[in-house]
Structures are given as structure tokens and as C-alpha cells.
Chains A and B, each alone.
Chain A
Amino acid sequence: MSKLTNEQLERYSRHIILKQVGGKGQEKLLGGKVLVIGTGGLGAPAAMYLAAAGVGTIGLVDFDVVDLSNLQRQIIHQTADVGKPKIQSGKETIAAMNPDVDVHTYNELVTSANIRDIIRDQDYDFIIDGTDNFPAKFLINDACVFEKKPFVHAGIIRFQGQLMTYVPGEGPCYRCVFPTMPPKDAVPTCRQAGVLGVMGGVIGTLQATEALKYILGIGDLLTGYLLTFDALKMNFRKVKIPRNPSCAVCGDHPTITELIDYEQPTCDLKK
């Protein structure tokens, strides 16, 4: 017999009806483990859709507290949550939404010292990069390459967003595309440049889509492609990206063999 309860059959009925999902697929989702690093513009909608979909184990990583200026886009947090740790606020939202989800929280800034332990904590199947700064993006990439874990990168700024998916052995990593940190002040953060609130919803939801497809083993992932979105032109572009055989971290002769803590050049992480 199926392990799904009558309540789960009803909750996930629109999934189960899908030929590519079914009861077996929903059981895969309930057994799935996704780590969401950053519970902001990208991570908030990603975590909420993963929770609604019934991904049984979700990890939330964030060191920050909810700020009033977050609420324009970080929909997992409510007005009453201002001042509360983001991971706590996120956990409460998910708990209220779906009791099937087991939420693990990590109230810390990811660094070379802790990221591999966090990934190993629940042996996560898939990682979502919902961070807003380059040091974290390179750190997550390198850690996932070292831990042989798939992850989906994303970034949003102003009216633009992008994402790509790394699967070990199946395509380029983030460093194949962006070998190292941009020069100091070359790229503004969304704190300086602004971002349309929905950008996190569009791109973060696409990240969640990649995670669900990976767990279900269906469709084609964004491995070997960078998908860019321009909201003003309402234009999606899917750019083919080859793996770089001489990539410093995933190449044939890697020169980066340990995690690097880059300095955040463009703004202070804490106010």
C-alpha cells in the first residue's frame, strides 16, 4: 500500500494527478532534503514553494533578523516578524503551512568553517543559493563541488535575474562561468541598486522548480545553461555555457582545493 495518508492524497492531489509525479513521486518529495541558504528575496519564495510541495526536510540558513525593508519581497516574513531571526520567522511560516515538513535552522553566516558541516548535517540532496553577495556565492559553489552536491545558483538586481544549475559531473559550475570575484565596487548589491520585489518570486520559484525536478528525476535541468530574465523587456534568454576543463575548482587539474572566505567588498553585511 501507498505510504501516503488520505490527508496527503488530498493535499498533494494536483501533484499526484501529474503523470510525471504520481504517488511515488510525491513520496520522493516527502523524502527529499533541500537546503536553502539565505531566506531573503530568493530563499523566501523558494522555501515556501518547497514546503507547500511537501519536500519533507528543508534547511534554512541565515544570520540576519527580519528588517522592515525586507518585507517588500521576502514573503516568508510578516510585519510582526520584524526584529526576529529570519530562520525562526521562516520556520514558523513553514510550520503553519505544512506540518509534513521538518525544518532545520542554522542561524549563522555561511563561511569556510561551517558550510560543509551544514550541508552534511542532514545530507541534503540539493542546495539553493539564495544569497545576495559574491563571497557566499563562490563559497556555496566550491562547497557543493567538494561535497559533490547539486545546487542552483541565482542572482537578482533591479529588474534582472539569472540562474543556473550545477550537477556534479554533468556540466559547468559557477566558477566555469565566473572564475573569480568581481572587482571591488564593480557590481552593486541590491541594497545599493534596488530590486523589484517580484524578482525574487520569479527567480526563487524557478530555483524551487529545479530542486523539485531534481528530486523527482524528471525533465531537463539548467545544467550547462544560464537562464537570464529581464522583467522590463519581459525577456527570458537561455545561454549555453560549456564546462571549463581548466576551471580552478571543478576542472581537470583544480588549483582551488580548499574553501575561500572572500571579503565582501561592496557593502557591509550587517548594518
Chain B
Amino acid sequence: MSKEAVDDTIDITDVVCPITFVKVKVALEDLEDGQKLGVHLSDGEPIQNVPRSLKDEGHKVLSVDKNDDGTWELVVEKGGLG
């Protein structure tokens, strides 16, 4: 997982768009502003769309790291752009 300390994590490699973002969004709703969520996501559409959707809703993507198996780790701060 990511080097950053996070308050919760979610794996969305088992779902496709738009459930990817839906799951991240619902997970963020359970956090407070300023808390961080780690997201494990697949290459391709998820990594292209999820970070952008998070920014659109005012969350700050703190880091995006690629794993050896081609999946990604993303850390987002709730309301970080608010």
C-alpha cells in the first residue's frame, strides 16, 4: 500500500466505471474533511477517470503510485480542494 498514512482504504480493482468512483465517493462520505483515503485501483479507465472525478468534487489527490503488477495506489484527502 501507499507510503502515506491513511484513515481508511478501499479496493476498487474488482469493479468497473462508474462503480469505481461510486465506491470511492461513498467511502469518503464516511470520513471527515482532512482525513485521507487510500485507493487501490486498476490501470486504464479507473486511473484515468477516478482522480479527475475526485478533483471535480473538491477532494485533493495527494499521491498516485504505480505497483509492479500494473495496478495503482492513490491517496486522496477529503475536501482538500474545498
Contacts and interface: CB of A to CB of B under 8 A. Distances in A.
Interface of A: 1-2, 4, 9-10, 13-14, 16-17, 19, 22-24
Nearest to B8: A1
A23 B27 CA distance: 9
Contacts, number: 33
A262 to B, nearest CB: 48
Contact of B29 (A13, A14, A17, A23): A23
Given A2-B30, A13-B22, A23-B25, 12 more contacts: A2-B26, A2-B27, A4-B26, A14-B18, A16-B25, A17-B18, A17-B25, A17-B53, A19-B57, A23-B22, A23-B26, A23-B29
A1 B22 CA distance: 14
B19 interface: yes
Contacts of A13: 18-19, 22
Contacts of A22: 25-26, 29
B66 interface: no
B23 interface: yes
Contacts of B22: 9-10, 13, 16-17, 23
Contacts of B29: 2, 22-24
A24 B30 CA distance: 9
B21 interface: yes
A110 B6 CA distance: 56
B54 to A, nearest CB: 12
A1 B19 CA distance: 16
Interface of B: 18-19, 21-23, 25-27, 29-30, 53, 57
Nearest to A26: B26
Contacts of A2: 26-27, 29-30
14 contacts: A2-B26, A9-B22, A9-B26, A10-B19, A13-B18, A16-B22, A16-B26, A17-B18, A17-B21, A17-B53, A22-B25, A22-B26, A23-B26, A24-B29
A65 B23 CA distance: 43
A89 B58 CA distance: 45
Nearest to A25: B29
A13 B17 CA distance: 10
A164 B22 CA distance: 34
A148 B70 CA distance: 58
Contacts of B23: 9
Given A4-B26, A23-B26, A24-B29, A9 B19 contact: yes
A30 to B, nearest CB: 13
A141 B82 CA distance: 43
Contacts of B19: 9-10, 13
A9 B12 CA distance: 13
Nearest to B57: A19
A9 B14 CA distance: 14
Given A9-B19, A13-B19, A19-B57, A1 B25 contact: no
